[in-house]
Amino acid sequence: MCYAKLKVIVEGIPAKISINKFCKTRNVSATYMKLKLTFLGPGCTQCCAGQLEDKLHCLKYKGKFKNNKFQMYIACHQKIFQQMHFIKANGYA
C-alpha cells in the first residue's frame, strides 16, 4: 500500500490529522504505526473499554413502555459484552 492510497482511506475522518505530518516524507510504515498507536494503542483502547463499562453501568430496564422490551435490553448487553470481548481477545486491553 502506498501513502496516497492510505491518505484516500482516511480522508474525511479524524485519522487524517494523524497522518498530515507524514505528507512530505510519504513514509507509509511510520504513518501506519502512528495510526495504529493512536487508534488502537493502550490509551485509546482503555478509553473505549471505559466507555463500554459506563454504557453497561447506565443501562437499565425500567419495564415495558413504548418500544422498550426486555429482548432489546438483553441485545444491548450482548452487544456491549461482544465489543469488550473483541477488545480483550485482540490484545488491546
- Please check whether residues 19 and 53 belong to one and the same domain: no
> Residue 92: what pLDDT?
60
How far is 7 from 27, CA to CA, in rounded Å? 12
- Please check whether residues 17 and 34 belong to one and the same domain: yes
How far is 7 from 12, CA to CA, in rounded Å? 10
- Please check whether residues 49 and 35 belong to one and the same domain: no
Q: Three-state SS string across 3-37, please?
A: HHHHHHHHCCCCHHHHHHHHCCCCCHHHHHHHHHH
- Please check whether residues 56 and 72 belong to one and the same domain: yes
At 39, which amino acid appears?
F
- Residue range(s) defining the domain that contains residue 11: 3-40
User: pTM for the complete prediction?
Assistant: 0.55
- Please check whether residues 65 and 35 belong to one and the same domain: no
- Please check whether residues 32 and 60 belong to one and the same domain: no
- Please check whether residues 34 and 53 belong to one and the same domain: no
The tally of domains found in the chain comes to: 2
2-54 pLDDT, tens digit per residue, is: 777 777 777 777 777 777 777 677 777 777 777 777 777 777 777 788 888 88
How many residues are listed for the chain in this entry?
Answer: 93
- Please check whether residues 30 and 55 belong to one and the same domain: no
Task: Provide the pLDDT confidence category of residue 91 given band limits of 50, 70 and 90.
Answer: low
Q: Per-residue pLDDT for 80 more than 80?
A: yes
